[in-house]
């Protein structure tokens, strides 16, 4: 297999410059194991965070989705499972904690849990090296570095990238508007955002939103990033914890089949179906309240639809399932294993970067 090393590999101690995005509130335990064992960075998501800690803001019935365990126990179990399944390969993994102001207390509890899990087990300490914060103010989270963690923070703009840099983030993840799930109010896509952020800060930048293959990894490197973060692409893999209906929906959709409507905190990109169209209608009819940004109000569209029976992830029906996903869904047509996917991304990017100079006349 080709070697394509960037600064990201050296910083995190991983062979390939690819991160799996956190995808809460869903479980990404099997996915993180497969991704880390494939030499990229697997990331545990904060499972059921909103659902169990703020039941009134939950998109779906928490117990039905996540069982009886409280979210901190779910996180601990995932940390133990991923440590165990990656121990022999000594693979590195991370945990994502959204730090939106609505969830600050929960975020603090999750971060504390990560720190304590590392202190309690030497394998976890060696392998769980990364924390990825997102969706909020970076400032309070620099302290994670004092506990030996590498700190990555997700931003949607140059303004927020500068804030993350002055807070001391080790890596900034610039996340374009085409990405799946929560996105910023301003629709700035990766093609503009990534090079703008890479020029504005000295901190290394990872590109997120719209990346899925070797061509897009090579493009990200040309735009000034040191690697890519993939969300939607990793859902459609054999090992991912997501339901078959979700994986199939990603494979079937073309690039125009996503919609942005109200999410838990701010806007969110959904795979287009009857459910997503209804969330858009509800978002438009509640627009003034939505823009005020109250967490429970912001979420009421999803809640109302659930009460009316429109939203039901558990029934596995493609038209009523609530599924987040990015525009890159239109570029995803298969269901590889994670290992096949990572290998094909690296091979394609390496081959493109090697052959490109021969295809361009430079005087
Ligand atoms: C189902 C789903 C759930 C997500 N949940 C989170 C989350 O909890 N925290 C976070 O930082 N990003 C979350 N994201 C964003 C991803 O981490 C990643 O940045 C994004 O999917 C990249 O864009 P892409 O979908 O085009 O690859 C989520 C994305 C998806 C598709």
96 lines ligand 1 (CB under 6 A): yes
Same domain, 125 and 205: yes
Does 349 map to a domain? Answer: yes
323 lines ligand 1 (CB under 6 A): no
Pocket test for ligand 1, best of 28, 175, 181 (most atoms within 8 A of CB): 181
> What is the band of 127 on the pLDDT scale with cuts at 50, 70, 90?
very high
- Lowest-confidence pick of 1-5, 61-65, 170-174, 264-268: 61-65
Does 141 map to a domain? Answer: yes
Does 330 map to a domain? Answer: no
28 lines ligand 1 (CB under 6 A): no
45 lines ligand 1 (CB under 6 A): yes
Does 188 map to a domain? Answer: yes
| Angle, vertex CA 17, rays to CA 14 and CA 18, nearest 5 | 100
269 lines ligand 1 (CB under 6 A): no
Pocket test for ligand 1, best of 231, 246, 265, 345 (most atoms within 8 A of CB): 231
- List beta partners, residue 155: 174
Domains identified in the chain, total number: 2
Range of the domain at 30: 7-242+335-353
Same domain, 142 and 255: no
Residue 57 pLDDT greater than 50, yes or no? no
Residue 19 pLDDT greater than 80, yes or no? yes
pLDDT attached to residue 32: 98
Residue 4 pLDDT greater than 70, yes or no? yes
Ligand 1 atom closest to the Cα of residue 154 is 11
pLDDT attached to residue 302: 64
22 lines ligand 1 (CB under 6 A): yes
Same domain, 119 and 229: yes
> CB-based contacts of 89: which residues, under 8 Å, 6+ apart?
36, 37
Does 323 map to a domain? Answer: no
Q: Which residue has the higher pLDDT, 359 or 56?
A: 359
pTM of the model: 0.94
pLDDT attached to residue 232: 98
Same domain, 135 and 276: no
Compute the residue count for the chain.
363
What tens digit of pLDDT does each residue of 308-319 get? 655 555 567 888
> What is the band of 353 on the pLDDT scale with cuts at 50, 70, 90?
very high
Same domain, 128 and 170: yes
Residue 293 pLDDT greater than 80, yes or no? no
CA quadruple 290, 296, 302, 307: dihedral, nearest 10:
-130
What tens digit of pLDDT does each residue of 183-233 get? 998 999 999 999 999 999 999 999 999 999 999 999 999 999 999 999 999
Directed axis angle between helix 158-167 and helix 190-200, to 10°? 40
Pocket test for ligand 1, best of 19, 20, 21 (most atoms within 8 A of CB): 21
The answer to whether 174 touches 189, Cβ cutoff 8 Å, is: no
Same domain, 101 and 131: yes
154 lines ligand 1 (CB under 6 A): yes
Same domain, 149 and 204: yes
| HEC-encoded secondary structure of 302-359 | HHHHHHCCCCCHHHCCCCCCCCECCHHHHHCCCCCCHHHHHHHHHHHHHHHHHHHHHH
pLDDT attached to residue 13: 98
- CATH number of the domain to which 220 belongs: 3.20.20.70
Same domain, 304 and 255: yes
Does 1 map to a domain? Answer: no
What tens digit of pLDDT does each residue of 62-103 get? 566 667 777 888 899 999 999 999 999 999 999 999 998 877
The answer to whether 135 touches 170, Cβ cutoff 8 Å, is: no
User: How far, in Å, is the centroid of ligand 1 from the Cα of 163?
Assistant: 21
Does 326 map to a domain? Answer: no
pLDDT attached to residue 303: 62
Could you tell me the two tokens for 263?
A: 């999410």
Same domain, 237 and 276: no
Same domain, 271 and 227: no
The answer to whether 315 touches 323, Cβ cutoff 8 Å, is: no
Same domain, 12 and 94: yes
162 three-state secondary structure:
helix
Among protein residues, the one with the nearest Cα to ligand 1's atom 12 is: 22
Could you tell me the two tokens for 339?
A: 């290992």
326 lines ligand 1 (CB under 6 A): yes
pLDDT attached to residue 59: 46
**Average of per-residue pLDDT values in the chain:** 90
CA distances, 100 to each of 150, 177, 193, 293, 339 (Å) = 20, 18, 21, 11, 33
Q: Burial, 287: exposed, middle or buried (Cβ in 10 Å; 0-12, 13-18, 19+)?
A: exposed
> What is the band of 23 on the pLDDT scale with cuts at 50, 70, 90?
very high
For 38-59, letters b (16+ CB in 10 Å) and e give bbbbbbbbbbbbbbbbbeebbb
């Amino acid at each position: 297999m080709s070697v394509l090393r960037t600064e990201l590999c050296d910083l995190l101690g991983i062979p390939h410059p690819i991160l799996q995005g956190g995808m809460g509130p869903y479980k990404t335990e099997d996915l993180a194991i497969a991704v880390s064992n494939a030499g990229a960075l697997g990331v545990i998501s904060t499972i059921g965070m909103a659902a169990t800690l703020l039941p009134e803001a939950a998109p779906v019935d928490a117990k039905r989705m996540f069982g009886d365990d409280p979210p901190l126990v779910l996180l601990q179990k995932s940390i133990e499972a991923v440590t165990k399944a990656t121990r022999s390969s000594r693979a590195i993994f991370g945990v994502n904690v959204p730090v939106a102001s609505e969830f600050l207390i929960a975020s603090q509890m999750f971060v504390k849990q990560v720190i304590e899990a590392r202190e309690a087990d030497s394998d976890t300490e060696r392998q769980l090296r990364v924390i990825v914060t997102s969706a909020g103010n970076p400032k309070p989270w620099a302290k994670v570095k004092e506990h030996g963690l590498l700190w990555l923070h997700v931003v949607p703009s140059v303004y927020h990238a500068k804030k993350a840099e002055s807070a001391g983030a080790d890596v900034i993840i610039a996340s374009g508007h085409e990405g799946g799930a929560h996105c910023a109010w301003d629709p700035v896509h990766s093609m503009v955002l990534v090079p703008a952020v890479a020029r504005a800060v000295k901190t290394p930048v990872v590109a997120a939103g719209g990346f899925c293959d070797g061509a897009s990894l090579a493009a990200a490197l040309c735009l000034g990033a040191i690697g890519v973060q993939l969300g939607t692409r990793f859902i459609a893999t054999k090992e991912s914890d997501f339901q078959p209906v979700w994986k199939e929906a990603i494979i079937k959709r073309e690039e125009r089949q996503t919609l942005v409507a109200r999410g838990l905190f701010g806007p969110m990109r959904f795979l287009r179906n009857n459910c997503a169209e209804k969330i858009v209608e509800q978002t438009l009819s509640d627009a003034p309240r939505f823009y005020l940004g109250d967490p429970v109000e912001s979420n009421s569209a999803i809640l109302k639809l659930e009460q009316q029976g429109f939203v039901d992830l558990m029934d596995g029906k493609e038209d009523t399932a609530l599924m987040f996903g990015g525009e890159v869904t239109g570029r995803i047509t298969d269901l590889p294993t994670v290992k096949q996917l990572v290998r094909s991304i690296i091979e394609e990017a390496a081959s493109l970067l090697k052959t490109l100079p021969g295809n361009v006349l430079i005087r």
